Structure 1
């Protein structure tokens, strides 16, 4: 089963993190057939040099898609998914690290479960390094559990997902909804009865910390949260009672002080 990897990079990326991420891709026990990296606007010289090194080392593996200006993750992925050669696409973030057997386990799972069109896994979160795991974000495994869980929380860890291009495009692909493009996509796909599953194992090591919690808070984030819930209500993915509950619970977390929000994420929403 041939597959592509899809990643987006922008100018604020740290070269050392990007290097670790790419190294984890090219060192897989089952190597991808293509790595598509969307350059979301102009990058730094250091980032360009790093990407050139990999392109020179693996000329047939890497494909770069340069955008004229920064358009955000959702738009970058919407463009990038169309540039992927293969129908099976594995998502990856530019500052996270794959478990060496991630693709082998996920691709074999898809081969053995042809009805599953979206497959994710748990993530192991770290601050200092992947050898010092701070927490595990566990998500439900079965389709039925995922459908129910998705009504109140995002049911997938986006950077772990492998999906079928055709299924994503049929659902409308990524659409601009700042910080919630992936969750909105999952909701639409689940609403169309597309089968999801998660492997109950951490197959990606994800960076966490104060910066991440800062990105998940503030009035702008609260407003986007309400916008997402309105869309879910309109398409009847959730009912009015769940809408109110989500705005109160999820919305409140967005406007709490960063230290409290970090505590909630690390201590109450992780294991």
Structure 2
């Protein structure tokens, strides 16, 4: 029975998150067809009163384990803190402003039951602006391990906000390590180098809240430099060759530095959200 398998959900929230969006995200976790027996919430630094009120209410629920960090450390450290405090072997990631499909966790637990050698299971996402019904894009990723690892050579092959993984597998490769906007991609690369098994289910697991701010974060010189550093890591570890390295860097230079934000939004929504 799927209900016999215990798993944790790891969430992070910080002062810039919207209190109502966070509440909606939490409700999408609590109203699953298969519910977690533990939700670890890392509060990454001080938060405003309206957001703190939601967190204080959650602390009354025995399912929640709330860890408060005195200052904001960023996603990498916050996610590592969350993972360190999870009690179960299977851990799902959830963001503070997205909405999980009601059968998300059931689909993932079923995948682990059917493919027990998997170290991580993710899935597809849709992206919406303002209201969940206003879907503006869909990010499709490969399903099988070999295809995921091939896709990894050019783009991030897992949608972080959808993943559920074996805690022991993540810890074997060092867990989440801070890397500007790329701590997830960096983790998948280290897992691939350790010959771990990837899988994505062919279902939309999370509806992701997006907007112009997200596309701005996906551009700029700082983001580009972080991407180039990651591409160099892939080159040095023979995940890609030099020609693929040059192609990847050139594409990112155009998309992240030379392209205006409005055009970048169009590319991400219409062209960059498919296999």
| TM-score grouping bracket, smaller chain normalisation | over 0.9
* 1:260 corresponds to: 263
> What is the aligned counterpart of 1:109 among 111, 134, 146?
111
1:13-68 deviation digits (Å, cap 9, x = unpaired): 00010000000000001000100011111111111110111222x2x200111111
How much has 1:243 moved relative to structure 2?
A: 1.1
Partner of 1:33: 37
CA distance in 2, matches of 1:221, 1:26: 34
Which secondary structure does the structure 2 equivalent of 1:66 belong to? strand
Q: What's 1:242 paired with? A: 244
DSSP-derived class of the 1:23 partner = helix
Structure 1 residue 74 and structure 2 residue 90: aligned?
no
Residue range with higher mean Cα deviation, 126-135 or 74-83: 126-135
Aligned position for 2:206: 204
Query: Equivalent residue for 1:183?
Result: 185
Match of 1:87 among 78, 86, 89: 89
User: CA offset at residue 220 of structure 1?
Assistant: 0.6
Q: Which moved more, 1:228-237 or 1:32-41?
A: 228-237
Distance 1:45 1:128 in 2: 23
Within-5 A mapping of 1:120-139: 120-139=122-141
SS in 2 for 1:134: strand
1:270 matched residue in structure 2: 273
Q: CA deviation at 1:240?
A: 1.4
Q: 1:44 aligns with which of 22, 45, 48?
A: 48
Give the distance between the partners of 1:270 and 1:180, measured in 2 at CA: 18
Q: CA deviation at 1:205?
A: 0.4
Q: Count residues in correspondence.
A: 269
* Offset at residue 132 of structure 1 (A): 2.5
1:21 corresponds, among 25, 44, 49, to: 25
The offset of 1:251, in angstroms, is: 2.9
Gaps of 5+ in 2: none
Deviates more, 1:136-145 or 1:243-252: 243-252
1:55 aligns with one of 59, 67, 71? 59
* Per-residue CA distance 1:69-105 (angstroms, 9 max, x = gap): 1111011111211100111000010000000110011
Inter-partner Cα distance in structure 2 for 1:108 and 1:229: 34
Extract structure 1 runs of 4+ deviating beyond 3 A: none
Q: Which residue of 2 aligns with 1:99?
A: 101
CA deviation after TM superposition for structure 1 residue 159, in Å: 0.3
Corresponding residue SS for 1:167:
helix
d(CA) in 1 for partners of 2:177, 2:242: 23
Residue 119 of structure 1 is matched in structure 2 by 121
| Matching residue of 1:11 | 15
TM-score, normalised with respect to structure 2: 0.96
